C-alpha cells in the first residue's frame, strides 16, 4: 500500500488493521436476526394485491363474499389515517408528485399497491388477495423516457402540463469559444438501462402497537431507521414521533434500495395501530422486482470538444432519466440526473461545460438510489467520450486522460460544475492501473476472440455535510452523526450510533476506532445501531458517509470519555491527567496503573474515589459535524480486460484492476470487500442486469432467472491497488468508499469492449452490453 502522507494519528494500533469482523460469528452460526426471523405472539401476515396494469383507472374492487371481516383493506380504509407521500426538493424547477400510499382512482405502474389482505399466514393472505377483482379501465402507458417527452403523451399526474419532474441546465465557461477552438468534436448517444439494487434479502416490515404504552414499534429492513421514523410521524395521524420506535435489525443488504420511505411501511404502521395483534409483511421476490425502487435508466447525448494535441476544451451533455411513476421520498427521481450532471467532470479539468438534466415520469416502478447514484451513468458517459475522443485524435487513451487530469497539487480544486475536491492524486491512480492491467500484454487469442482493455476513472463525493445537502435543495439537510459511548461498571464498552450497518462491517470498524482511543481491544467494544430507542439520532447508512461521519462521532465521543478516564485515573494514581496513557485495557500513569474496569467502577459505584469536580458515570453523547462540509472525495480508476467472442457476441471479463484512494483505510479487509462487492454489481450492470417492459408497460423480467445478477463464474478476482491520500477535512483522513466499486465498471467494461472491437468499427453505446447487439453490429 502506498501512503502519500504520514498518519495524523498517534497511538493507532488498531485502525488500519485487517481485523476479522465481529459480525461474522452470529451469521456463520445461523443466529443473525433479520426482520423475517422475528417471532411475535399473535402475529398475522399481510399480502398486497398489486396492480397488474401499468396505467389504468381503478374502479371498485370486488371482494369475495366469503372473505373474513376485516381481512381486506382498500384505500378507503386508510382515509384519514395516512397522508400521501410527497417528496420535495427545494428547487424551483422541481415538480413534486404525490405517491399514494395505496392506489385510489388510478394506478400508474405494475406493482402499485391496490389492496392489503390480512390473514393468519402469508399463504392464506395470498389466497384471498388473488381472488380480489379490481376493475381496471386501461389507459395508454408511457414506457420509455423519450416517449414521455412526446407531445402526444398525456401527463400522468393531475395538474401537470407534461411529464417532466425536473429539467435544469447550465453553461459554464465560454462554451462557444471553446467549441470554435477545438479541432475534434466527438458525439455519442448512449443508454444505461434500468437496474435495481437487488439485495438478497427482500424488503420487510413488522409492526406492533402497544396499547398500554401507546408505543408503535416497527421492525423494518431499512438503511435509515431514524429518518423513516421522522417521516412516519409525518405520514401517520394520531401518533407522535416520540411514540414511534423503528428498529432495523440485521438487514440483508441495501445498496440504496432500502433507503427511501416505502408505502408498505406506512400501511403496516396504520394497520397495527388499529389491530390488537402485530402484523407482518415480508416482500417476495416478484414484489421486489416491481415495487422496490429501480435505478439509473439514462438516455444520454455527450459531445467532447478537444484539440488535436489532446487538450479537452469543453463537454456538452444531456441526461434524460426515466424517473418512473412517482417521486420517492426522500431521494426524488431527480437525484439521478442532477447528480450525474454535477459529477460528470470527474477527475478532469476543462474550460467549458454545458449540461441539461431532465427527469420524466413514466408508467414504471419509481426510481431511487442505488450504489453510486448518478455517478455510474456520468462516468459511463464521460469515460466513453474520453475513449472515443482519444481514438479520434489518435492518442493513447491513457495519455489523453493523463493530459487532462487535475494534478494533486491543485487541491483543493473547484470543478467546472462547482464541486470542491479536497485531495487526491488521479494521475498516479491511472498510471498504476494502466501498468497493472497492461503488464501481461493482451496475450495470444484465437481469431474468434478479440481482447480489449478499458478504463473508468472517477471521483466519488462522500460524507458531504450540510452545505452540500442544502445546495442540492434537500428538504432534510443532513450533516452530522452522533455516537453515544458508555463504559459499564465492569469496563465493557458500548457504542451506539445512528448509522445502520447492513454488511459494511461498521460494528467492527467503529470498534477499532473506539478501541484505539480507549486503549482496549476492538473485540471488547460492542457497537449498537439500528434502533431509534437505543441509539442517538442519525441519518443512516447512505451516501458513503457512515465510516467518516459515525467514525468522527465515535472518535470524538471516545476522546471526551478518555479525558474523563484520565482525570479519574490521575486522581487515584496521584499524577497529572496528561501523564495518563490509555492502553492495554488500563489507565497507565508514570508510577502505576489502574485497569479500565476499576476506573469504571469508581465512576459508578465507588464515588468516594471520584474527584468532586468530575461528573459520575462514563457515558457520553457526541455529535460530529465536519468543519468543512463539501465532502471528502475518494477517487479511483477501474481497468478491465475483456474477451469478446466474435462469433457469439459474448463478453468475458479476463482481468479487473481497481486503483483506489479512499484516504485512510480503517480496516483493509472490509475496504477490499466493499470494493470487490461494488465491482460485482457494476459488472452486472455492464453485462447482465436490466429491467425491460413491453409496450403495455408490463415488466418482462420479474424473476432472478431473467433479471440476471452476476454469479461467481461471471466474475474474476478483483486486483486492488491502494493509495492513501488523507482527506484534510475528516477526523481520520478517511474518505467514504461504499459506492466507488460500482461506479467504474460500466465505463471500464464498455471501453474494453470498444477497444476490442475498434478494428471492426464497433463501439459500445449501451449497457448492459448484449451479445445480440454486438453480433448484430459485427455481422458482415
Total residues binding other proteins (CB under 8 A)? 76
Asked if 442 is part of the footprint of other proteins (rule: CB under 8 A), the reply reads no
- Which residue of 76, 90, 130, 240 would you call a contact of other proteins, by CB under 8 A? 130
Asked if 679 is part of the footprint of other proteins (rule: CB under 8 A), the reply reads yes
- Which residue of 2, 11, 13, 27 would you call a contact of other proteins, by CB under 8 A? 27
Asked if 439 is part of the footprint of other proteins (rule: CB under 8 A), the reply reads no
Q: What are the b/e assignments for 363-395, b being 16+ CB within 10 Å?
A: bbbbbbbbbbbbbbbbbbbbbbbbbbbbbbbeb
Contact 602, 524 (CB under 8 A): no
Q: Which of residues 478-497 bind other proteins (CB under 8 A)?
A: none
Of 563 and 704, which CB lies nearer to other proteins in the complex structure? 704
* Segment near other proteins (CB under 8 A); pick from 544-552, 616-624, 712-720, 729-737: 712-720
Name the residue with cell 471501453: 751
Nearest partner of 361 among 190, 531, 226, 159, judged by Cα? 159
Asked if 705 is part of the footprint of other proteins (rule: CB under 8 A), the reply reads yes
* Segment near other proteins (CB under 8 A); pick from 430-438, 473-481, 547-555, 646-654: 646-654
Of 420 and 525, which CB lies nearer to other proteins in the complex structure? 525
Q: Which of residues 94-123 bind other proteins (CB under 8 A)?
A: 122-123
Contact 639, 455 (CB under 8 A): yes
Nearest partner of 694 among 138, 50, 135, 142, judged by Cα? 142
Strand-by-strand arrangement of the 586-589 sheet: 581-583, 586-589, 592-595
Distance of CA 480 to the CA centre of its chain: 18
Asked if 647 is part of the footprint of other proteins (rule: CB under 8 A), the reply reads yes
Count the helix, strand and coil residues of the chain and give each as a percent rounded to the nearest 5. 30, 25, 45
Q: Which of residues 38-77 bind other proteins (CB under 8 A)?
A: 39
| Phi, psi of 463, rounded to the nearest 5 degrees | 50, 40
Asked if 284 is part of the footprint of other proteins (rule: CB under 8 A), the reply reads yes
Distance of CA 241 to the CA centre of its chain: 26
Asked if 274 is part of the footprint of other proteins (rule: CB under 8 A), the reply reads no
**What are 96's three cell numbers?**
413534486
Torsion, Cα of 460, 465, 471, 474 (10° steps) = 100
Q: Which residues pair with 187 in a beta bridge?
A: 303
Binding mask 156-185 for other proteins (x = CB under 8 A): ------------------------------
Asked if 396 is part of the footprint of other proteins (rule: CB under 8 A), the reply reads no
d(C-alpha 482, C-alpha 467), whole Å: 18
Q: Which of residues 725-744 bind other proteins (CB under 8 A)?
A: 741
Q: Closest distance between other proteins and the C-beta of residue 542, in Å?
A: 15
Asked if 714 is part of the footprint of other proteins (rule: CB under 8 A), the reply reads yes
Q: Which of residues 600-629 bind other proteins (CB under 8 A)?
A: none
Binding mask 240-259 for other proteins (x = CB under 8 A): ----------xxxx-x----
Asked if 596 is part of the footprint of other proteins (rule: CB under 8 A), the reply reads no
* Segment near other proteins (CB under 8 A); pick from 64-72, 85-93, 542-550, 769-777: 769-777
Binding mask 194-233 for other proteins (x = CB under 8 A): ----xxxxx-------------------------------
Asked if 708 is part of the footprint of other proteins (rule: CB under 8 A), the reply reads yes
Asked if 763 is part of the footprint of other proteins (rule: CB under 8 A), the reply reads no
Q: Closest distance between other proteins and the C-beta of residue 647, in Å?
A: 5
Of 626 and 710, which CB lies nearer to other proteins in the complex structure? 710
Asked if 17 is part of the footprint of other proteins (rule: CB under 8 A), the reply reads no
- Which residue of 688, 734, 743, 756 would you call a contact of other proteins, by CB under 8 A? 688
Distance of CA 602 to the CA centre of its chain: 44
d(C-alpha 179, C-alpha 305), whole Å: 6
| Phi, psi of 755, rounded to the nearest 5 degrees | -60, -45
Of 165 and 656, which CB lies nearer to other proteins in the complex structure? 656
**What are 148's three cell numbers?**
414521455
- Which residue of 672, 724, 739, 763 would you call a contact of other proteins, by CB under 8 A? 672
Q: Which of residues 533-562 bind other proteins (CB under 8 A)?
A: none
Strands annotated E in 148-183? 164-172
Contact 232, 300 (CB under 8 A): no
Asked if 23 is part of the footprint of other proteins (rule: CB under 8 A), the reply reads yes
What is the Cβ-side half-sphere exposure of residue 687, based on CA atoms within 13 angstroms? 25
* Segment near other proteins (CB under 8 A); pick from 108-116, 709-717, 727-735, 752-760: 709-717
Q: Which 3-state string (H, E, C) describes 719-767?
A: EEEEEECCCCCCCCCECCCCCHHHHCHHHHHHHHHHHHHHHHCCCCCEE
Q: Which residues pair with 298 in a beta bridge?
A: 192, 321
Of 446 and 627, which CB lies nearer to other proteins in the complex structure? 446
Asked if 681 is part of the footprint of other proteins (rule: CB under 8 A), the reply reads yes
What is the Cβ-side half-sphere exposure of residue 299, based on CA atoms within 13 angstroms? 12
Of 288 and 411, which CB lies nearer to other proteins in the complex structure? 288
Nearest partner of 501 among 530, 526, 532, judged by Cα? 530
Contact 459, 634 (CB under 8 A): yes
* Segment near other proteins (CB under 8 A); pick from 228-236, 360-368, 498-506, 520-528: 498-506
Asked if 24 is part of the footprint of other proteins (rule: CB under 8 A), the reply reads yes
Apex CA 592: angle with CA 588 and CA 598, to 5°? Answer: 65
Amino acid at each position: 500500500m502506498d501512503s502519500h502522507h504520514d498518519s495524523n494519528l498517534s497511538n493507532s494500533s488498531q485502525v488500519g488493521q485487517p481485523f476479522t469482523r465481529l459480525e461474522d460469528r452470529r451469521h456463520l452460526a445461523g443466529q443473525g436476526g433479520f426482520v423475517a426471523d422475528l417471532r411475535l405472539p399473535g402475529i398475522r401476515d399481510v399480502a398486497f394485491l398489486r396492480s397488474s396494469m401499468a396505467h389504468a383507472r381503478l374502479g371498485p374492487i370486488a371482494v369475495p363474499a366469503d372473505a373474513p371481516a376485516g381481512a381486506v383493506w382498500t384505500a378507503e380504509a386508510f382515509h384519514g389515517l395516512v397522508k400521501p407521500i410527497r417528496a420535495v426538493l427545494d428547487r424551483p424547477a422541481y415538480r413534486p408528485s404525490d405517491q399514494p400510499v395505496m392506489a385510489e382512482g388510478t394506478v400508474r405502474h405494475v406493482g402499485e399497491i391496490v389492496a392489503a389482505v390480512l390473514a393468519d399466514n402469508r399463504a392464506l393472505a395470498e389466497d384471498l388477495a388473488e381472488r380480489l377483482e379490481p376493475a381496471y379501465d386501461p389507459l395508454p402507458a408511457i414506457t420509455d423516457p423519450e416517449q414521455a417527452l412526446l407531445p402526444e403523451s398525456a401527463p400522468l399526474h393531475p395538474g401537470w402540463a407534461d411529464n417532466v419532474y425536473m429539467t435544469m441546465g447550465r453553461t459554464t465557461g465560454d462554451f462557444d469559444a471553446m467549441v470554435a477552438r477545438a479541432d475534434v468534436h466527438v458525439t455519442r448517444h448512449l443508454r444505461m438501462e434500468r437496474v435495481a439494487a437487488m439485495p438478497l434479502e427482500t424488503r420487510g416490515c413488522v409492526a406492533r402497537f402497544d396499547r398500554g404504552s401507546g408505543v408503535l414499534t416497527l421492525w423494518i429492513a431499512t438503511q435509515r431507521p431514524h429518518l423513516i421514523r421522522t417521516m412516519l410521524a409525518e405520514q401517520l395521524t394520531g401518533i407522535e414521533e416520540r411514540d414511534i420506535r423503528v428498529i432495523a435489525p440485521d438487514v440483508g443488504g441495501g445498496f440504496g434500495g432500502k433507503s427511501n420511505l416505502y408505502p408498505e411501511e406506512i400501511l403496516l404502521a396504520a394497520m397495527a395501530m388499529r389491530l390488537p395483534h402485530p402484523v407482518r409483511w415480508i416482500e417476495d421476490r416478484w414484489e421486489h422486482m416491481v415495487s422496490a425502487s429501480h435505478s439509473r435508466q439514462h438516455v444520454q447525448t455527450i459531445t467532447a470538444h478537444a484539440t488535436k494535441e489532446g487538450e479537452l476544451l469543453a463537454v456538452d451533455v444531456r441526461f434524460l432519466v426515466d424517473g418512473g411513476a412517482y417521486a420517492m421520498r426522500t431521494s426524488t427521481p431527480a437525484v439521478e440526473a442532477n447528480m450525474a450532471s454535477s459529477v460528470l467532470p470527474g477527475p478532469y479539468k476543462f474550460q467549458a461545460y454545458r449540461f441539461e438534466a431532465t427527469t420524466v415520469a413514466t408508467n414504471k416502478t419509481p426510481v431511487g438510489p442505488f450504489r453510486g447514484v448518478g455517478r455510474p451513468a456520468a462516468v459511463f458517459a464521460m469515460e466513453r467520450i474520453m475513449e472515443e475522443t482519444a481514438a479520434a485524435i489518435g492518442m493513447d487513451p491513457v495519455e489523453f486522460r493523463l493530459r487532462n487530469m487535475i494534478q494533486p497539487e491543485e487541491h483543493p480544486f473547484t470543478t467546472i460544475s462547482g464541486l470542491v475536491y479536497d485531495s487526491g492524486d488521479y494521475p498516479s491512480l491511472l498510471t498504476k492501473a494502466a501498468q497493472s492491467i497492461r503488464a501481461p500484454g493482451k496475450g495470444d487469442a484465437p481469431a474468434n476472440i478479440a481482447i480489449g482493455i478499458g478504463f473508468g476513472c472517477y471521483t466519488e463525493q462522500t460524507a458531504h455535510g450540510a452545505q452540500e445537502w442544502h445546495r442540492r435543495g434537500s428538504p432534510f439537510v443532513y450533516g452530522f452523526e452522533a455516537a453515544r459511548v458508555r463504559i459499564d461498571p465492569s469496563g465493557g464498552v458500548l457504542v451506539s450510533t445512528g448509522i445502520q450497518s447492513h454488511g459494511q462491517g461498521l460494528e467492527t470498524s467503529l470498534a477499532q476506532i473506539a478501541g484505539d482511543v480507549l486503549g482496549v481491544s476492538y473485540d471488547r467494544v460492542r457497537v449498537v445501531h439500528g434502533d431509534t430507542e437505543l441509539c442517538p439520532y442519525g441519518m443512516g447508512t447512505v451516501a458513503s458517509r457512515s465510516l467518516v461521519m459515525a467514525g468522527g462521532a465515535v472518535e470524538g465521543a471516545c476522546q471526551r470519555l478518555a479525558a474523563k478516564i484520565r482525570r479519574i485515573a490521575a486522581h487515584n494514581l496521584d499524577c497529572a491527567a496528561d501523564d495518563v496513557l490509555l492502553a492495554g485495557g488500563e489507565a497507565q500513569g508514570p508510577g502505576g496503573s489502574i485497569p479500565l474496569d476499576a476506573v469504571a467502577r469508581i465512576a459508578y459505584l465507588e464515588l468516594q474515589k471520584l474527584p468532586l469536580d468530575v461528573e459520575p458515570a462514563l457515558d457520553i453523547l457526541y455529535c460530529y459535524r465536519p468543519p468543512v462540509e463539501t465532502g471528502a472525495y475518494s477517487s479511483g480508476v477501474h481497468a478491465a480486460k475483456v474477451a469478446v467472442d466474435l462469433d457469439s457476441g459474448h463478453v468475458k471479463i479476463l482481468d479487473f484492476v481497481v486503483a483506489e484512494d479512499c484516504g485512510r483505510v480503517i480496516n483493509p479487509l472490509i475496504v477490499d470487500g466493499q470494493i470487490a462487492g461494488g465491482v460485482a454489481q457494476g459488472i452486472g450492470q455492464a453485462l447482465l442486469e436490466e429491467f425491460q417492459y413491453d409496450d403495455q408497460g408490463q415488466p418482462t423480467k420479474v424473476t432472478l432467472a431473467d433479471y440476471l445478477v452476476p454469479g461467481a463464474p461471471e466474475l474474476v478476482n478483483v486486483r486492488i491497488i491502494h493509495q492513501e491520500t488523507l482527506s484534510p477535512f475528516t477526523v481520520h483522513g478517511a474518505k467514504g468508499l461504499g459506492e466507488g466499486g460500482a461506479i467504474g465498471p460500466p465505463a471500464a467494461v464498455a471501453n474494453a469492449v470498444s477497444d476490442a472491437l475498434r478494428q471492426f468499427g464497433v463501439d459500445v453505446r449501451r449497457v448492459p452490453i448484449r451479445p445480440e447487439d454486438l453480433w448484430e453490429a459485427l455481422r458482415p
